[in-house]
Structure 1
């Protein structure tokens, strides 16, 4: 009976609030976050992209013009100094031109300025400073786009501060940056499932529902990562959630032809390839754990090994194998 209730958490009609409450009881308390969401509008506001200082973006300041030629280390220090200066100049530029009362009335900030600022941030502290500027964007009557959610999650993982992404997306009423992209949600789960406590993964799973994304169980990459997170946790809740995820993951894996991850580094670096790479990595982890603990694992072998895949339930006694069709 308990497992049936848990399984319902991952159905299309499940309530994300229930899943979030479950996260609170796993491993450690989850910080209470304000999920008072406003509507996430994704319309493109091309009028907002009017003016932005190219001098700020290119870093053409007099103090950063000279480049030391004394050696690689000195050049590296100079580059770091220029980058930090560009960061704070851009922070000041955007702060003065956003908010309810702008210090500088002339000109507007482009949407692309946020992407530039994410890249210039070189520490978790700097990225948190950027996040504290998010409310000014909404106060200016502007809205973030899915590309901003993706870039912010990616930078949080690169700077090893996934907790910042959890805080920002968990408090939409304050920050105004919505988890409006399935790519961003997958990436967010990827940044926490292997190393962070299970409660963080469960919080991300809850955000799938809060932001009206497809349920975790319906997405192979997300489902495999969350199930892998459950396997490394020893709590009773993890076993119940894992059982519900296992049934759905096994069904999808058996019913779909395997996808192979690209081997070329240039292709693997493409953002569009990441979900398949994350999915296959999670499956390999699941296979190792299942083998070690004596659980069923052969349903994974077509995905993790170079074996010819045959769909389930496609043969009848009177049907030749050559005419079998994929399920």
Structure 2
């Protein structure tokens, strides 16, 4: 394990402010808040990010009950002893007309989730509405003194094409408001396919362009990119193939809809041993060159620049958090 001083120094060079608070999200597992049996199993769930679900996984007739159960779970669950790395809460979208009811209910809990997750963000104006609703029902003092992150979903053709403006606006809103820093973006493949009239397939060729554009935009803003759901929960080989593909493309992790998918996904999104060694050796080499007052240098035949250091830093932080 590398000294924290080296991690902080490289983070400053790479432009990363919250390196010590890196949250791995290899697998993002949904738990319907209307299902108490599933909620009771949350402490043992080993997905990196466990999401209490109020949106698509909850029937309209069960929304009110799910809100009450979610608020109770936030106060009951001991965050520091959970098997997961993060406990998130996904509320309903602005366009659904249900978002404010969600926030009114969950704001009654004393504790906030470690991440608020907002689906179907279609335009920058949605984010203004979201921040205003949170400020109204939580109050500035309560939400500005928290480390709760923000995760948003891109799920339509309009949102994908406008994604740079959406992300940029969200980051600017955080600077102005002082709460809920955007940390990750999720690609909602099923709603995207419905929006463009595409037919879902196990190989995912219908979302090839969208996924590649999506991950490129996320990484342009140094954000985690969470890949689409693999809908056939019995086809673990297909899940493994698509997860490996996603990791090779630069995705941070993948959404999962069943606990049986978690271990397969998280294994594929953990860098191989040789890649981990590359990252550790690169960081050591950079630290040694800095100590000698040297500037640019070569490492394994490559000139080392900021993007490569950022890649190495992400790998090291992921491995250390998972091991801990």
Fold conserved between structures, TM > 0.5: no
What is the TM-score when the length of structure 1 is the normalising length? Answer: 0.29
* Greater helix proportion: 1
